[in-house]
Structure 1
Amino acid sequence: MAQVSSTAKIKRLPSPNRVAVLFAIVCYIAGCTTLGPASVQRDRTDYGGALATTWKEQTLLNIVKLRYGDAPVYLEVSSVISSSAMESQVSLGATWFSGWPNDGNSQALGAYGRYTDRPTISYTPLSGERFSRYLLRPLSPAAVFSLVQAGYPIDRVLQLTTRAVNGVYNRSASPFRARAADPRFYQMLEALRRVQRSEALGIRINQPGDKENTLIIVNRGVPDAVSNDSRTVREILNLRPEATELALTFGMVQRNDTEVALLTRSMSEIFVELAATAEVPPTHLQEGRANPAPAEPASDTPWDQPLVRIHSSATRPADAYAAVPYRGYWFWIDDKDMRSKSEFLFILVLFSLAETGVTPQAPVITVPAN
C-alpha cells in the first residue's frame, strides 16, 4: 500500500503559468484514479509469468531432492485473486492581498492519493489420494499414445514414459532397478519414429470405461521403407504380420500376437530416472549425501545420454532456463540446451496428464465488493 500527500505554494507566478500548472496536476491525479483495463494487462502477464517460472523451479527442485533421498513437496496454486483500489483528493485555494504591508498574492495546492493492492493466493498441497493419482499411478497407455497422435515424437515419448513394450525393456538409470536396454528396444524406437513420420500409425480412443484402445498400423499405400520398418516393429514385438488393428493395454507381456502391452512408468518413476543422471557436487558424492551416479552404459549411443541435463555450480548461473538453490549449490538447466528444455517441458505436460478422475474442488473464496 502506498500513500502520497503533498502541499505546495506557488508564489508570484504569472497568471497563465499558474493556471497551466494547476491544470496539469489535476489532470495527472484524475488520470491515476482508474485501474481497470490497465491492471488486467499488467496483472495477467505478471501472474502468468510467475506461475510458469515457479512451476518449473518446483519440478526441478523436487527432481534434485530425489537424488539426495529427500522428500519432494508439491504445492499447487489453486487460485489467484487480485484486488486493487486507488483513491485521490485534490484541493485548491487562492488568496489575494492588496495594500501595504501585504502587497502581493499567494496560492495553495494540496493533493492526496492512496493505492492498495491485496492479492489473495491459495495454495493446495498435493497429498493423500491426489498424491497417489499424480505420482504413484502409472500413466495410462491411451494417454501416452494420445500424445503421439498429437504430434509428439513417439521415440521420445516411449523412451521417457515406458519401462517395457511387450516384454522388450527400456534402459533404467534408477538406483533401484538399474539395467541396460534390451538390444532391440532402441531399434524399435527408431523404426516407430519413421513409421510415425509417414502418417502410417494411428490410435482410436474408445469410450470411457473400455479396457482396451486400438492402435492402427497402415500397410497399404506406403513406401517400401515404411513397410520394412513396420515389419521390423512386428518382429521385435512378436505381432502378427498381417494384423492392422492392435489392442493397446497396460501390462508386462502380451496375451496374444495382436496386442501391444505397455508397461508405463509413473511420474514418480520418471522423476527418479531424471534425478539419477543429475549432476551433483563431487564432495556430496564423496560424503555419501547423494545417490551415486549410474554405471556408464556398455555402448555409448545418443539414446543412453541423460534425457535432461541438470548442472550444478557454487554460484548462480547467468543464463539458465530454470535454476534452484539447494544445499548451498545451484542446480540448473542451460537455456541453450534445447533437447533438455523440450524434454523438461514434455514432463510438465505429462504431469498434467497424470490427473484422472473428478477434479477436486478449489476452496471457496469470498471477495468483498467495495
Structure 2
Amino acid sequence: MPSFDELRKIAGCLLLVPTLALLSGCTSIGAGSLTRDRLDYGEALASSWKEQMLLNVVKLRYADTPMFLEVSSVIGSYQLQSQLNLIGTFSSGLTPNLPDTWGRGATLGAAALYTDRPTISYTPLQGDKFTRSLLRPIQPAALFQLVQAGYPVDLIFQLTTRAINGIYNRSSRPMSTRRADPEFYPLLDALRRIQLSEAIGLRLERRGPDEVSLITLRGSKLTPEVAEDIRLMRTALGIQPEASELALTFAAVPRNSRELAMLTRSILEVLIELGAGVEVPGKDVEEGRTAATPPPDPEEGARDQPLVRIHSGSKVPTDAFVAARYQNHWFWIENRDFRSKSIFSFLLLLTSLAETGVAPQAPVLTVPAN
C-alpha cells in the first residue's frame, strides 16, 4: 500500500497532465480557420452569384423585376471555451481511535463550448449604382481590352454589341426582334481570324484632357488569307483602304471613314437577350405568364441559336452547372454544356466592365477568433 506522500505526488501528477495539455492547446484558431473560411465562403459567394444571375435572367423572360443583392461584407466570429476539473481526496486512516484504513475519492469534470457566429451584410443594387452597373452601355474600349486579353472577338461582339458602323446585330428581345444584317456574321468571322493572326490591336493615347482609344491594323507580313479578311472588314465597315489607325467611339454610325463606331449593349440588355432564349413550360405560354418563343426560321444558322441554353422542368436537375427555382419550375444550365457554362460565367466579367467611376470595394471577410 503506497504511503500518503506517494499518493499526494500521484495526485499532483494527475492534475499536471491535463493542465499541460490545455496550455499546449492554447494556440490561435483564427490562423487555422483561414484556409477553410476563404475557400468555403468563396465557393458560397460564387454559387450564390450564379444562382442569382440565372434567376434574374429567368425573371426577365417572364417580364418580372430583376433584383441584385451584393455581399458587402462577411464577418465570422469564433469562440472556443474549455474547462477541465479534477478533484481528489485521500486519507491515511491514522487518526487516533479510528481504524487504520485508507479512503480514496476522485472527481473528473470537463466542459467545452464552440460558437460560430457569421454576420453577412447585403447591399441592394439600386440608384446610381444600378444605373452604372446595369443600364449604362459597356464602353467599347473595355470590350477591345478583352479582345487583347485573348477572349474571342466574335463572341464578345455578338453578345454585347447592337451595331458596328451601322451594321446591326440580331436581337431576340420581345419588343424589338430583328434579324442580323447580312454583313454582320461574316464580319464576326473575319474579325476572329484577324484576331488569331495578331493583326489587330488597341492603343490608348492621351490627347489633352481626354484619353483616346485607337484600333491599330497591321498591314505588313500578312498571309493572303488574313489580308483578304482585312479587306473584307474595311469594305463592310466603310474604312479607308490605307487607314492603319481607327478612332474607337460609342455611336451607331461613324463620322468619317477613319472611325470605328460601336453601339454597345448594357448588362440589362445582355440579360434580356439571353432570357429570350430560355426554354419555358408550354403551360406558362398558354396561360399568358410569358411570351412564346418565336418558331425557328429555316434560314437561321448556327449563330442565330441561343448563346446560353437554359432548360426548364418540374423536378430538380441531377447534374446542373447552376439551377434556380421560379414559379414552381426549375431552370438550369447543363453541366455538360461547356459553351453555355463559359458564356454564362463570362457575364461576371462583363458586369465588372460595366461598372464606371469609383470602383466598389470587394466583399471583406473579417474573422475575429476568441
Same fold (TM over 0.5): yes
Matched to 2:74, the amino acid is: V
Paired with 1:336 and 1:102, the residues of 2 have a C-alpha distance of 80
Task: Please state how far the C-alpha of 1:118 moved relative to its aligned partner.
Answer: 2.2
TM-aligned CA distance change 1:86 to 1:283, over 3 Å: same
CA RMSD of aligned residues (A): 3.0
Task: Please state how far the C-alpha of 1:369 moved relative to its aligned partner.
Answer: 9.5
Q: Which has the higher contact order (CA 8 A, sep 6+)?
A: 2
Query: How many pairs were matched up?
Result: 355
TM-aligned CA distance change 1:41 to 1:144, over 3 Å: same
Query: Does structure 1 residue 193 correspond to structure 2 residue 186?
Result: no
TM-aligned CA distance change 1:170 to 1:320, over 3 Å: same
TM-aligned CA distance change 1:80 to 1:364, over 3 Å: closer
Matched to 2:343, the amino acid is: E
Paired with 1:236 and 1:192, the residues of 2 have a C-alpha distance of 11
* Matching of residues 4-15 of structure 1 within 5 Å: none
Paired with 2:294 and 2:211, the residues of 1 have a C-alpha distance of 37
Paired with 2:185 and 2:108, the residues of 1 have a C-alpha distance of 79
Query: Does structure 1 residue 58 correspond to structure 2 residue 58?
Result: no
Paired with 1:82 and 1:140, the residues of 2 have a C-alpha distance of 37
TM-score, with structure 2 as normaliser? 0.88
Secondary structure of the equivalent of 1:83?
strand
* 2:296 matched residue in structure 1: 296
Query: Does structure 1 residue 40 correspond to structure 2 residue 34?
Result: yes
TM-aligned CA distance change 1:49 to 1:28, over 3 Å: farther
Matched to 2:144, the amino acid is: F
TM-aligned CA distance change 1:225 to 1:363, over 3 Å: closer
Paired with 1:190 and 1:315, the residues of 2 have a C-alpha distance of 39
Matched to 1:268, the amino acid is: L
Task: Please state how far the C-alpha of 1:233 moved relative to its aligned partner.
Answer: 0.7
Paired with 2:306 and 2:19, the residues of 1 have a C-alpha distance of 61
Cα shift readout 1:246-285 (whole Å, capped 9, x = no counterpart): 1111111111111111010011100000000001111111
Cα shift readout 1:39-97 (whole Å, capped 9, x = no counterpart): 11111111111111111111110000001111000110111122212121111122335
Task: Please state how far the C-alpha of 1:128 moved relative to its aligned partner.
Answer: 0.7
TM-aligned CA distance change 1:238 to 1:113, over 3 Å: same
Task: Please state how far the C-alpha of 1:365 moved relative to its aligned partner.
Answer: 12
Greater radius of gyration (CA): 2
Task: Please state how far the C-alpha of 1:295 moved relative to its aligned partner.
Answer: 4.1
Matched to 2:56, the amino acid is: N
* 2:146 matched residue in structure 1: 147
Task: Please state how far the C-alpha of 1:210 moved relative to its aligned partner.
Answer: 2.6
Task: Please state how far the C-alpha of 1:206 moved relative to its aligned partner.
Answer: 3.1
* 1:128 matched residue in structure 2: 127
Secondary structure of the equivalent of 1:124?
strand
TM-score, with structure 1 as normaliser? 0.88
Paired with 2:298 and 2:261, the residues of 1 have a C-alpha distance of 27
Secondary structure of the equivalent of 1:27?
helix
Paired with 2:85 and 2:315, the residues of 1 have a C-alpha distance of 54
Structure 2 spans left out of the alignment, 5+ residues: 1-8, 94-98
Cα shift readout 1:193-237 (whole Å, capped 9, x = no counterpart): 000001111001234953641000111111111101100111111
- Kept in 2, the 8 Å contact 1:178–1:294? The answer is no
